[in-house]
Amino acid sequence: MKSIGNLIVISGPSGSGKGTVCHALTQENPSLVVSVSATTRKPRGAEKHGIDYFFLTREQFEEMIAGDRLLEWADVYGNYYGTPREPVEKNLSTGRDVILEIDVQGGLQVKNKFPQCVLIFLIPPSRDHLETRLKQRGTESAGDIERRLSWAERELKEVQKYDYLVINDRVEEAARKIGAIVTAERCRPALLDVESFLKTNWK
């Protein structure tokens, strides 16, 4: 049956393992597209332009805002982050599901614009787990880690506005749960061309 794609937002504190879980999810479901965000933060470690993020200057980012070329954007820890609109809309119109790995401010903006989107909150099992993961990652200063932990506490207050909550205890298990959500959401009649299916197969 023909369908339009579904927009799936995965939010969760920095260090909650969104990237690792999304990687496992796309390995299992290769038709899923993960949107590449734009940001004004500097590349970290081996991150590459166009693959991990589009690394932009503040001027370039503000031009994208002015041109309405972002589906959503937010200021996170003093840097801009946003979702380029065009590739997302193109993939959805060809029936592919698109994953956005974005913060809670962005997730709630997307829900306002696309009420049919699916909001999934990925949470580490505890604050201690999150702190340990951020420290082990070794890419942030002690001050940045503190900022990210207190930002996480603020984000957690919005959990009830999300459609699903997944605890990231084990990566494979979290990816399996999100895969099950994606599969179930694809069965919603609102996304499917039910009329032409019935016309062709049930006349």
Tell me if 94 sits within 8 A of 152, measured CB to CB. no
Looking at the Cβ atoms of 26 and 105, the one nearer to ligand 5GP is: 105
Q: Distance between the two ends of the chain, CA-based, in angstroms?
A: 15
- Any idea what DSSP says for residue 100? E
Tell me if 203 sits within 8 A of 50, measured CB to CB. no
Tell me if 17 sits within 8 A of 124, measured CB to CB. yes
Looking at the Cβ atoms of 129 and 186, the one nearer to ligand 5GP is: 129
Looking at the Cβ atoms of 81 and 177, the one nearer to ligand 5GP is: 81
Q: How far is the CB of 89 from ligand 5GP (least distance, A)?
A: 15
3-state secondary structure of 49: strand
Q: How far is the CB of 194 from ligand 5GP (least distance, A)?
A: 32
Residue 155's closest CA among 181, 183, 182, 124? 124
Closest residue to bound ligand 5GP by CB: 106
Looking at the Cβ atoms of 153 and 183, the one nearer to ligand 5GP is: 153
Q: How far is the CB of 188 from ligand 5GP (least distance, A)?
A: 25
In the complex, the residues that contact ligand 5GP under the rule CB under 6 A are 14, 18, 37, 41, 72, 74, 76, 81-83, 101-103, 105-106
